[in-house]
Chain A
Amino acid sequence: MTQGKLISVWLGGVLLIAGLVGILESGAADVFLEATRPDFQKISLGVAGIQNGGGPDWLGGRIEEVLKKDVKRSLVFDLVDLPSLGIKTSDIGNGKGTGSKAVFKQAAEKGVSVLVWGKAGLKEAEKDADVNMEGFVYDSGSDEVVGGKRYAGSPSVVRLMAHRFADELVFRYTGEPGIARTKIAYVAEQGKARELFVMDYDGHDARQLTADGFLNLMPQWSPDRRFLVFTAYRNRNTQDIDMIELATGKRWTLISLGGLNITPALSPDGNFLAFASSHEGNSELYRLDTRTKALQRLTVNPSGDLSPSWSPNGRELVFVSDRGGGPQLFLMGSDGSNVRRLTFDGDYNAAPVWSPRGNWIAYVCRTQKEYKLCVISPDGQKRMQLTTGPGVDDSPSWSPDGRHLVFSSTADGKSHIYMIDADGKDIERLTFEGTHNSAPSWSPAS
């Protein structure tokens, strides 16, 4: 059976459920699978340069470099190298003259669907320097300049301007917001402590969030991107679940029941917090109603249950349990009903994360004594190993568009953070500094 068929079977299921549920509740499963299908045809796009609009020489080049990488990572576009197609990009000018018409014609003939160009400058404003950027888009299908953007901001947001423009391109051609402005929260070693950090999705602009000098582990985003929930140790003894507000740095304890309190995960609507706690003996899963504070125990058995991850419609959880010996993935309704085992390959499967599109669950699988990334469809019918080779891969987390995963790996020695396409192609290393970076969590899209 082909992957395409399987996905359409799954899609059919989602539509059926969405149809039933839609009677009672709006905003059910978000069905938009086109751009993750294997036969999805990428849109060829060429960047004809960000010219110097007055200011330092590096400015246009920096923006162009960031923009090109964003376009490539979007996996919506196929970034083409215009000079190698014989297209003289400098003739594009401001996109209005005869020179630019010639470039458009050439691009159309060479099968380039979208041409992007712009300029960037820096001027000294009253208080500090101000960067201006404009970008324009030619669409060879309609043979017109379909529009552009103009941005202004401080020099510290130059990369963000490029990210924003990239997201506008993705938005224009897919209706999705793009991932170039998303962030990744993670844990970095500081001496013997482990502190929370947040960086841009491409590994730039890392910022430290906590500084308590002990262990802060496994951050997860709130759906509105304003908070992180994570595991912390109060006075080095009691293991709690804490929350931190990114804008203010304000931090407080959410769950302090005693025992082990780990792997928090907020439901997609923010109304429930699922987590593992051993306050009643061994590690069990609980679900807290964040508005009424009603606590519901979801699992009842003498083994360890942990690592809940919500389905995108909030109705199911995938989690880890070692009730059969080694850790394996299980599924259940988000009220604890209808528990069934999902994984049967190998004796160690853990750290599951449900993709935002619902069609895959990524997790850590042990094969030939190595801990690697795998994905499995929620019906258990399709399974694929994404990474190979030595090193411990851990903590996969999906990009909000479902096209990438971020994870930690010791493949290069120390633990660092990597991005991989959801089909296992193209690994990109994101962190290079420090002694240990782990537990990445990809923010929702804005």
Chain B
Amino acid sequence: MNKTLYTCGLVLVMGVALISMPGCSKKSVQSGGDSQSAQGMAKGGSSDSSRSGVGSFPDTGVQSGGSGLRGLDKNPSEERVGSGTMLAKVDPSSSAGRQDEFRAEAGLLDVFFAYDSWTISEEERQSLSRNAEWIKSNSSALVKVEGHCDERGTSAYNLVLGEKRAKAARNYLVELGVGTQRLSVVSYGKERPSCNEHAESCYQQNRRAHLVVKTGK
């Protein structure tokens, strides 16, 4: 423990801003010690140790063992070549199950968005008003709002954009009096397009919040 503190202290004394502080806090936690000093070192935002929602991590650091290359040899001995990184065989039939409990509902209208935007236009507010009425009159229905994007832009940013669209639609439904406990959101980004052409007419259909329903008990 003393050694750890000494190391951390040395780093601070040297004033090398580039040394990562959590490198020190990590060591203190590892040596089973002073969590106070660990938290003191950690910067920017909350930090807590054991937490639900985090699974088990294997050690993924590179083990010493080199590249597997042995160099050229004047009298080379035979090397057995295996298939390298072994890849497990997948049984595609194992994809069975996992049916979506939510289904599309004719009474619910899609809400469409402008390019790069998650703002709900006046026209789309009318669709959402009709959706709100439908939801209120089907009191056992749970509604999932899916956010979708067109194919332009990156996969990653479109997942964030899709979430913004889904949340914008959800928030307006809440404003209209739908209970938050009946609404959930999910973003599919540009990964589940309803239309696959590279054309604006198609992009328009894909920039949407799509409402699906599960009938609760």
Contacts and interface: CB of A to CB of B under 8 A. Distances in A.
B95 A151 contact: no
B122 interface: no
Contacts of A307: 154, 156-157
A326 B117 CA distance: 10
Given A172-B71, A246-B88, A444 B62 contact: yes
A211 B92 contact: yes
A26 interface: no
A247 B88 contact: yes
B156 A260 contact: no
Nearest to A254: B55
A249 interface: yes
Contacts of B11: 24
Interface stretch (A157-165, A354-362, A374-382, A417-425): A157-165
Given A164-B81, A395-B155, A444-B62, A295 B188 contact: no
A255 interface: yes
A255 B53 contact: yes
A254 B57 contact: yes
B188 to A, nearest CB: 7
A413 interface: yes
* Dominant secondary structure at the B interface: loop
Interface stretch (B37-45, B105-113, B128-136, B174-182): B37-45
A218 B159 CA distance: 11
A364 B93 CA distance: 36
Interface residues of B, number: 89
Given A181-B84, A336-B43, A266 B60 contact: yes
A237 interface: yes
Interface string A170-211: 011000011001010000001011100010000000011111
Given A149-B73, A392-B152, A198 B44 contact: no
Nearest to A250: B88
B46 A297 contact: yes
A306 B60 contact: no
Interface in A240-268: 243, 245-250, 252-260, 262-263, 266
A225 B44 CA distance: 31
Interface string A67-109: 0000000000000000000000000000000000000000000
Interface in A204-234: 207-215, 217-218, 222-227, 231, 233
A223 B26 contact: no
A248 B89 CA distance: 8
Contacts of A337: 43-44
Contacts of A217: 155, 159, 189, 191
5 contacts: A224-B62, A246-B87, A247-B86, A262-B156, A294-B29
Given A145-B74, A410-B198, A350 B55 contact: no
B56 interface: yes
Interface stretch (A4-12, A54-62, A284-292): A284-292
Contacts of B100: 236
Interface residues of A, number: 133
Contacts of B216: none
Nearest to A393: B154
Contact of B59 (A212, A270, A289): A270
Given A252-B56, A291-B30, A306 B92 contact: no
Contacts of B77: 150
A371 B153 contact: yes
Contacts of A438: 155
Contacts of A132: 78
Interface stretch (A41-49, A120-128, A327-335, A426-434): A327-335
B151 A392 contact: yes
B217 interface: no
A192 B157 CA distance: 21
A439 interface: yes
A415 to B, nearest CB: 8
A58 B56 CA distance: 48
A296 interface: yes
B94 interface: yes
